[in-house]
Amino acid sequence: MKCVLFYHAFTSCWNNGNAHFLRGYARELHALGHEVVVFEPIDGWSRLNAIRESGSQALQDIGQLFPGICIRRYDASLDLDEALDGADLVVVHEWNSPDVIAQIGDKRAHGAPFTLLFHDTHHRAVTAPDELAQFDLDAFDGVLAFGEVLRQIYMKLGWADRAYTWHEAADVALYHPLPNVEPTEDLVWIGNWGDGERGAELGEFLVEPVAELKLRASVYGVRYSDDAIRTIQAAGIRHSGWLPAHWAPVAFASARATVHVPRGPYVRSLPGIPTIRVFEALACGIPLVSAPWSDDEGMFPDGAYLKAANGTEMKRALRAVLDDRELPSAMVETGLRTVRERHTCRHRAQQLVDIVEAIRGSDRSSQPLHIAGASA
């Protein structure tokens, strides 16, 4: 197939946790023999912020890390007829502008022969359904939802057999253990402080345990307010700013443990959806202790990571990981095996191909999907 993928950002991962998976499945589609073309806006805010903060070097690395993938930047003069010419599959990520989403849908509605899928990796369907309403999805052939609970929401909107659970996964070509890197810290955390969705949780499950256990720790990420930086520095934690996603394996290898602190909306409204950090940590072979989230879909077996219901349990779990030699080794073995057997970007790329074949083989494969209320 010729696969045309529309992202808000492919070359930049600044405040873009989706970049890991979006890049990874594109890589694997290419490895499976498909042509892959990625479109990203030249003025995308993730890309502009990355350049503003760190220059263009980290962005230039991406072309070398993903050979064979054609990356095209566009502006308002984009010719969609040319961009979509010869496409067999078009995937539009939900970070795209509503105008771009509508224009691509219009091409499909007027007979373009490609299979058109909308990729949703956000909690807005639950927390801000009015934002979802701005997307005109009537002409799309299906929705790729990054968790079963989100797929169920689309089913209630009328998508029925055209909504698919398509979880994120690890790009194991980049995310894997680095045994030659010597750990120099007790703990590392990678994540953006953001807009208050997990401020209290970060205090309970990250800042306070590090301070009380007197751990050597670093955090990486963006959108840290001055107050947030003062808080973590007061706990003895080093704030190291933006870490390009493809540098994360070195950061993980440099520490003896990491923690998972999901955002509140996912915990409360979208159980069963792990953040990309779980896949990254397990793929890189670093012991992980997680704040509460519900693995409703059985993504990970017992023993892949430790669970902490509160700050006290987090401190106890971290102490066990750091003091016990056998426990972290068993966790790493289970986590690595789980990722490699079930949760790689190759698994997801093959699943995507299977989804496209199922849509094409259905009775309505030659017609765009029109559903009353699907974009309401």
Could you report the average pLDDT of every consecutive run of 10 residues in the chain (376 residues)? 97 94 98 98 95 82 94 96 98 95 96 96 73 84 94 87 95 98 97 79 96 98 92 96 94 98 80 92 98 94 97 98 96 98 98 96 57 35
CB 286 within 8 A of CB 329: no
pLDDT tens per residue across span 36-68: 999 999 999 999 999 998 877 778 889 899 999
What gap in Å lies between CA 305 and CA 122, rounded to an integer? Answer: 24
> Nearest to residue 345, comparing CAs of 176, 163, 144, 168?
168
Asked whether the beta carbons of 12 and 50 are under 8 A apart, the reply is: yes
pTM value?
0.93
> Residue 363: its pLDDT value, please?
61
Question: What order do you get walking across the sheet with 115-120 strand by strand?
Answer: 70-74, 35-41, 2-6, 89-93, 115-120, 142-145, 163-165
pLDDT in tens, 155-203: 988 887 899 999 999 999 999 999 999 999 999 999 988 666 688 899 9
How far is residue 350's CA from residue 32's CA, in Å, rounded to a whole number?
Answer: 8
Q: Find where tokens 């007061």 sit.
A: 234
What pLDDT, on a 0 to 100 scale, did the predictor assign at position 364?
A: 56
Q: In whole angstroms, what is the distance from residue 196 CA to residue 366 CA?
A: 45
Residue 76, number of CB atoms within 10 A of its CB: 8
